[in-house]
Chains A and B, each alone.
Chain A
Amino acid sequence: MSIKINSNRCVGCGRCIEVCPGNLIKRNIEGKAFMKHEKDCWGCTACIKECVVDAIDFFLGADIGGTGSTLSIQSKGDLNIWKVKDIQGNIQEIVINKKDANKY
């Protein structure tokens, strides 16, 4: 399980580098973010929540059942919009209002 950074989208703002609790993301010579410690990701999605250009995707490794789907998140006002995209490109969305408590 880890993250994938799309360097075509990354604008090098550095927010993901700043926030990762494991200091796993670094900047390359082009000034863009890259995942230096791919196997050390905890899956907290903090970096994804920071990226305003939607350049980071989260995925499960095959060792824990991953089959190429990705998870991403965008925040719009009070809403967190989570997107799961499977390997064929089908998208499923789950919208959570930040003001709503968990039912469980």
Chain B
Amino acid sequence: MKTRIMETDVLIVGGGTAGCFAGITLGKQEDVKVLMVEKANIKRSGCLAAGVNAINAYIIEGQTMQDYINYCKKDAEGIVREDLIQNMSERFNHVTKVLEDLGLVILKDENGKYVTRGKRNIKINGENIKPILAEAVNRQKNVDVINHVNVTDFIVKDGRIQGAYGFDVNHPIFYEFHAKAVLVATGGAAGLYRPNNPGFSRHKMWYCPFNTGAGYAMGILAGAEMTTFEMRFVALRCKDTIAPVGTIAQGVGAKQCNGQGEFYGEKYGMATSQRIYGTVTENREGRGPCYLGTKGISPEQEDALYKAYLNMSPSQTLKWLETGKGPSAYNVEIEGTEPYIVGGHSACGYWVDQKRETTISGLFAAGDVAGGCPLKYVTGAMAEGEIAAEALVDYIKKVNYSPIKEKNGEKKKKEYEDYLTRGKNLLTIEQVEESMQKIMEQYAGGKSTDYRYSENCLILAEKKILKLLETLQFLAAEDMDDLLRIYEIRERLIVCRTVIAHLLARKETRWHIFAENIDYPYKSDQWLKYVNSRLEDGELKIVFRDLVTGGQVYEHKN
């Protein structure tokens, strides 16, 4: 492998929603050198690849920031950081305006006001949201983008970030990045559990299957504190295509109904987890399958749905047209997804302060990778990117930085090369992936167990995942493409381990489905606290922290 060493002021790992918005913000500081490293190409990478349906987090007229905070708090049963939600929601409307100025189409009424949907959404054409963000990044003179480089590890010295290591996903090049400060914005983690369609369409999942938890894993390995990994996220989605249901539910007002035609939504409550719990329960008790009641909608409504889905999840429209079962003639079947770890929907991720700095000095986190602040969606990820970018500028001005002289990277490079030079054996990447997903599915609350788990099963899962981590060293890579797939499994296994440890630690059922603990089936006020963890000398240590509620602000203490 060739070696390429690069130096910069700010390194951004992951050019998705949060990373791009941080890049655009940093573009205003022309004297700050910024390097954005992305495993794919920022034009269509990450969650926004196909487009999005709406701006889901916006403070519309008549609503306040406090309303948004209350909504998050209720949805997450209290396990949120109010200080983080507060300074995120302060920026929703501002970042939306920036997006509009960059070219995003937002629907307006005759008075020039945004057209709203429900209490928090505004209507857009989100098909090209990612190219819009990417073009804006590419226009910033001080921001360089390196596409197709996968980052695997941070360089940390004396509790401070120094840079990161990675490799080119197509050519044998080892990258060593040195930076005064780093923003991690690699999104969440999909593919930990067996997916809904485990065969040919295994990647037809809701969350981006190429976000494999790299940022979490790098942080965990570097000893960063993580929070609330036990709050997994399971989404209610259209059967088979795993396309979002909000567009149908909110768009044409379709309600959840069971196989007997009964509307069951209200019976279980309307919080995110309750809506899935209702669906799972109706199925378990023999009243499935469950649907969104669309039958009887008008041809115009049906046509609008076809278009809306083409703009964000085209397989759903293809499915309707191909099977000849359009939503006006047939109800749309729904199901829960595999569990994901995604800090933009639930509260899991890095434990950060208000500036989004992690417990590693100089390492900031934004978007789905950052914890404590659920229901971020697109605008929240951008808001966090902006908050972190502003703090990064302050940080690098203060930091007394001297680039590392010695060649630290040799060890990491050798690790990559070992995979590339090892002869093929019977163990394959695919086998390890299947094994991981089987363990998580069966012992750690996958879909087939109705998301439930017991302590005994989790302990078994932990052992098996640790064993699997050990087998990684026997995998062989024929080329850089194989190497990418090996590291994608490695990071998922590391995330799995943390998820299991957190599920074990929270001895209650605070959220149905997300953390359905058979041994402790009820919630208890005693558990109104954060479950955090840190890797210390190879051991995952659980740390409990008090809730940060209204008016309080959390700050790291050294």
> Residues of A with Cβ closer than 8 Å to B?
1-2, 18-23, 26, 36, 38-46, 58-67, 69, 71, 80, 82, 84, 86, 92, 94, 96, 98-104
Contacts and interface: CB of A to CB of B under 8 A. Distances in A.
Given A2-B200, A61-B204, A103-B304, 7 more contacts: A21-B46, A23-B169, A23-B484, A39-B202, A61-B200, A82-B310, A98-B125
A26 B482 CA distance: 13
Contacts of A19: 40-41, 43-44
B305 A46 contact: no
Contacts of A39: 199-203
B134 to A, nearest CB: 10
A60 B553 CA distance: 49
B307 interface: yes
A45 to B, nearest CB: 5
B93 interface: no
A19 B134 CA distance: 12
Contacts of A59: 318
A64 B203 contact: no
A84 B321 contact: yes
Contacts of B7: none
Interface residues of B, number: 62
Interface stretch (B246-254, B269-277, B384-392, B402-410): B246-254
B519 interface: no
Contact of B315 (A43, A63, A67, A99): A43
A66 B314 CA distance: 13
Contact of A63 (B107, B147, B200): B200
Contacts of A92: 321
At the interface, is chain A mostly helix, strand, loop or mixed?
loop
A44 B242 CA distance: 12
B240 interface: yes
Interface in B118-172: 123-128, 147-148, 169-170
Contacts, number: 175
A94 B204 contact: no
A40 B106 contact: no
Contacts of B311: 96, 102
A62 B200 contact: yes
Interface stretch (B48-56, B444-452, B493-501): B48-56
Nearest to A104: B251
Given A21-B45, A46-B50, A63 B201 contact: yes
Interface in B11-62: 39-41, 43-46, 49-50, 53-54
Interface string B172-215: 00000000000000000000000001011111110011100000
Contacts of A45: 50, 314
B308 interface: yes
B241 interface: yes
B314 A64 contact: no
Nearest to B125: A101
Contacts of B203: 1, 22, 39-43
A103 B125 CA distance: 9
A69 B318 contact: yes
Contact of B53 (A18, A22, A102): A102
Nearest to B115: A101
B314 A71 contact: yes
B110 to A, nearest CB: 14
Contacts of B315: 1, 43, 58, 60, 64, 71
Interface string B466-496: 0000000000000001001000000000000
6 contacts: A45-B50, A59-B318, A61-B199, A63-B197, A102-B53, A102-B311
Nearest to B198: A63
Contacts of B314: 43, 45, 58, 71, 82
Contacts of B147: 18
Interface in B299-348: 304-308, 310-311, 313-315, 317-319, 321-323
A38 B310 CA distance: 21
A65 B202 contact: no
Nearest to A67: B322
A69 B484 contact: no
